């Protein structure tokens, strides 16, 4: 519920608590009614405001946007003001066009325990759906009306715990004698998959699945919505049971009709919904197996890369040339920087990688394998967590490794100690990675276009071709190396 409800001076804390209870029960009513549900309250004599909204999962909503906080005048919503100011229900047609059809409003006043009007519920469906509903079984129409009136009284206990009702879910309406009085076409087809080929109408609920009877019985006994998942044969089924309560006036009318005292209970039946979850669960299981296999592949790739790095280290120890040893050690760091990304993918199975964590791992590797403690160089990391697709994260890992190695090897040749910082910046659609050192700076004749350093050539190629960004070097109190690139959407090129 929107906080604007507290600006409605005519409402006391009990009224607001009652409206909040209703707002939690609105989603299931919106789903089964195949309509948007709005609650209006008076903000002033000439202003009403939308304080709550529910949109159906069973059909496209009339209002795709969030209307909470929207203020309307009597000219805009005359039926809403008639309900709020005079307590009268009504039906209206909005000028708004939804999915090519006008919208039909059904407006009801909401009363508090003292009988005062504290709000108005507007149930809004596009005209096509309204006509379809009018052609459905009278039993179903009455059940929907009862459910909507229960909402106005805040009597749908447990509704906030129900999962959404979708367009492919079936509906049964069961009467107080536990007989099925209505079965939707979708419900009929779902029960056929469970082996029930005859008509469901007039069948006792006990003749269907055991869980059907148990759900309806529990819902009626506790006068509370129930939801349960169970297996029926080879299918996974989710059922919801919603007890239906009549208004107090119903008992008086029943006394006049049958000429004897009516039953004490206001229960008149229940709505039972059924959802086939089988395909979704199968896909989830298939995805889980595929994810496990992919994680295992990444784990093996990481292990293989670490073996390659170990072999290169062994080779580096055997060579006598200092230049050859340095080249092999650089190659070890490049291999391990890629292994960091595969290690993340093998552990978490994530499709996105936190490059801050990648940077932290690369700093640890550099300290352990390359950095000479005697040089007095400190490595630091700044910036937020930034999540990128695995392909971009791999390129970033190589970029960070190359720039860090370059700063360590060349930034402090003629001066003792200093600080190298990896700075990450999330710029919305762009990411900036900067490796900043306070070393001796670039030579006066330095040109990035004519650079011979393999590491900088790798960074320039990755920045331009893989990350589709830009790479720049700046001199002044050391070197600031910056790679800036656009974020890639998951699954993008």
* Secondary structure (DSSP) of 334-372: HHHHHHHHHHHHHHH--SEEEHHHHHHHHHHHHHHHT--
Q: What is the pLDDT of residue 349?
A: 55
Report the CATH number of the 1-153 domain.
3.30.450.280
| Topology agreement, domain 1-153 and domain 363-493 | no
In angstroms, rounded to a whole number, what is the distance separating the alpha carbons of residues 171 and 193? 15
| pLDDT: which is higher, 47 or 278 | 47
| pLDDT: which is higher, 352 or 380 | 380
Q: Domain extents for the chain?
A: 1-153, 168-276, 277-350, 363-493
CA of 366: how far to CAs of 155, 330, 354, 456, in Å?
A: 64, 11, 19, 17
Most confident among 95-109, 183-197, 339-353, 408-422 (mean pLDDT): 183-197
Q: What is the pLDDT of residue 258?
A: 44
Mean pLDDT of 373-378: 84
In angstroms, rounded to a whole number, what is the distance separating the alpha carbons of residues 270 and 286? 36
Mean pLDDT of 331-355: 72
Mean pLDDT of 159-166: 93
In angstroms, rounded to a whole number, what is the distance separating the alpha carbons of residues 369 and 431? 28
Q: What is the pLDDT of residue 369?
A: 73
Mean pLDDT of 78-107: 81
Q: What is the pLDDT of residue 461?
A: 87
Q: What is the pLDDT of residue 83?
A: 94
In angstroms, rounded to a whole number, what is the distance separating the alpha carbons of residues 370 and 334? 12
Whether pLDDT at 133 is above 90: no
In angstroms, rounded to a whole number, what is the distance separating the alpha carbons of residues 350 and 291? 9
> Which residues have a Cβ under 8 Å from the Cβ of 62 and sit 6 or more positions away?
35, 36, 96, 98, 103, 124, 125, 126
What are 388-405's pLDDT values in tens digits? Answer: 887 888 888 888 888 888
Q: What is the pLDDT of residue 395?
A: 85
Beta strands 267-276; 235-245: pairing state: antiparallel
Lowest mean pLDDT among 158-167, 185-194, 305-314: 305-314
Lowest mean pLDDT among 71-75, 169-173, 454-458, 468-472: 454-458
Class of 363-493 in CATH:
alpha beta
Number of H helices, E strands in the chain: 12, 18
In angstroms, rounded to a whole number, what is the distance separating the alpha carbons of residues 377 and 408? 8
In three-state secondary structure terms, 453 is coil
> Which residues have a Cβ under 8 Å from the Cβ of 204 and sit 6 or more positions away?
178, 179, 180
Output Rg (C-alpha) for the chain, integer angstroms.
34
Which ranges in 153-277 belong to alpha helices (H)? 185-193, 210-222, 248-258
Beta strands 377-382; 418-426: pairing state: parallel
What are 246-300's pLDDT values in tens digits? Answer: 876 544 444 444 444 444 568 889 999 999 988 887 887 777 777 667 667 766 7
What are 8-31's pLDDT values in tens digits? Answer: 988 999 999 999 999 999 999 999
Mean pLDDT of 220-233: 90
In angstroms, rounded to a whole number, what is the distance separating the alpha carbons of residues 475 and 410? 13
Report the CATH number of the 168-276 domain.
3.30.450.20
| pLDDT: which is higher, 163 or 131 | 163
């Amino acid at each position: 519920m929107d906080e604007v409800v507290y600006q409605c001076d005519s409402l006391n804390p009990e009224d607001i608590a009652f409206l909040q209870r209703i707002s939690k029960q609105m989603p299931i009513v919106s789903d089964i009614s195949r309509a948007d549900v709005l609650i209006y309250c008076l903000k002033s004599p000439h202003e009403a405001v939308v304080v709550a909204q529910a949109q159906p999962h069973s059909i496209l909503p009339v209002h795709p946007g969030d209307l909470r906080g929207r203020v309307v005048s009597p000219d805009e919503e005359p039926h809403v003001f008639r309900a709020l100011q005079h307590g009268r229900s009504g039906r209206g047609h909005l000028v708004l066009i939804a999915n090519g059809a006008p919208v039909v409003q059904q407006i009801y006043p909401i009363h508090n325990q003292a009988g005062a009007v504290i709000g108005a519920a507007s149930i809004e469906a596009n005209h096509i759906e309204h006509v379809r509903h009018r052609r459905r079984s009278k039993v179903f129409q009455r059940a929907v009306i009862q459910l909507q009136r229960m909402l106005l009284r805040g009597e749908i206990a447990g509704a906030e715990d129900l999962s959404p009702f979708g367009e492919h879910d079936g509906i049964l309406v069961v009467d107080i004698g536990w007989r099925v009085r209505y079965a939707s076409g979708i419900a009929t087809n779902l029960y056929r998959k469970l082996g029930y080929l005859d008509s469901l109408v007039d069948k006792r609920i006990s003749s269907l699945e055991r869980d059907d009877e148990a759900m309806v019985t529990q819902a009626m006994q506790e006068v509370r919505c129930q939801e349960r998942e169970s297996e029926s044969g080879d299918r996974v089924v989710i059922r919801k049971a919603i007890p239906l309560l009549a208004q107090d006036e119903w008992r008086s009318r029943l006394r006049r009709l049958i000429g004897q005292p009516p039953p004490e209970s206001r229960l008149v039946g229940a709505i039972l919904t059924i959802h086939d979850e089988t395909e979704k669960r199968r896909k989830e299981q298939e995805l889980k197996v595929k994810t496990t296999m992919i994680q295992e592949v990444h784990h093996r790739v990481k292990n293989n890369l670490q073996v390659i790095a170990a072999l290169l280290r062994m080779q580096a120890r055997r060579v006598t040339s200092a230049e050859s040893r340095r080249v092999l050690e650089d190659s070890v760091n490049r291999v391990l920087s890629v292994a960091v990304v595969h290690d993340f993918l093998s552990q978490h199975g994530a499709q996105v990688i936190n490059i801050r964590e990648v940077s932290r791992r690369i700093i640890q590797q550099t300290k352990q394998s390359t950095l000479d403690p005697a040089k007095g160089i400190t490595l630091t990391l700044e910036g937020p967590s930034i999540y990128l697709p695995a392909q971009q994260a791999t390129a970033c890992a190589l970029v960070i490794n190359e720039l860090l190695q370059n700063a360590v090897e060349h930034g402090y040749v003629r001066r003792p100690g200093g600080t190298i910082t990896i700075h990450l910046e999330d710029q919305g659609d762009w990411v900036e990675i900067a490796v900043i050192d306070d070393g001796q700076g670039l030579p006066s004749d330095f040109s990035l276009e004519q650079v011979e350093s393999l590491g900088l050539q790798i960074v320039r190629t990755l920045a331009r071709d893989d990350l589709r960004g830009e790479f720049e070097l700046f001199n002044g109190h050391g070197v600031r190396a910056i790679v800036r690139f656009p974020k890639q959407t998951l699954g993008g090129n």
